[in-house]
Amino acid sequence: MKLRLPHAPYIGNKIALDLSNCGFVSLLHGIEGISKVAQNFIEEDIKEEMKIEEKAREILEENLDEIEFMRADEHQLFWKIKHKLAENEGFILNWEDRYNHLAHKILDELYEEDLIEYSTSETRVKNVIFKAIDGYIKIYNEIEDVVNEKISNYKRKIVFGSEEYDLIFDRLYQEELKKKGFL
């Protein structure tokens, strides 16, 4: 699953909660600072990927005539261009490597900002952060299905993509996140 900007606060909260509950990390200034640091790094990572995708789209658009003439698959070309741009930028696309690297950056910042102390190996703490990100990604699709099912069972029809739909979706989504321990 590809992360989007609205996911960042939820993942930041999950990281902060998991660190506070792991038993070997001490929070020196509460969970808010931890959540904010994690959220900032996640947003930065998502925005970097968005920039790469935008550049890939621009390249595709600039060469659309050739692509149509060659009858090439635009989606496949997009991914090839994105991979090449990411490689040139030093941006990691493999999700496991990417989120492992992101977890390490978050941990380094939390320690440097004196927000946490830990009595175990750095790898063990980093793994808590990685598992929080990975756990959110895995549960997101499940929660989305539950929320969509609830909305589809409303007595009156809620139009997908409408402002009302988005408000209801967000409210139900947050309720499900609370049930799952993400908030």
Residue 19 has pLDDT above 70, yes or no: yes
Q: Residue 28 contacts by C-beta under 8 Å, 6 or more apart in sequence?
A: 114, 115, 116, 117
Position 81 scores a pLDDT of: 92
- Percent of the chain topping pLDDT 90: 57
pLDDT greater than 90 at residue 37: yes
Residue with tokens 């635009």: 74
Q: Provide the greatest CA pair distance for the chain.
A: 62
Torsional sign, CA 8, 14, 18, 20: positive
Q: Per DSSP, which regions of the chain are E strands?
A: 25-27, 116-118
Mean pLDDT of 105-116: 96
Identify the DSSP state of 181: T
**pTM score, whole prediction:** 0.78
Backbone angles phi, psi at 116, to 5 degrees: -140, 160
* Per-residue confidence (pLDDT) for residue 28, from 0 to 100: 94
- What is the β-pairing status of strands 25-27 and 116-118? antiparallel
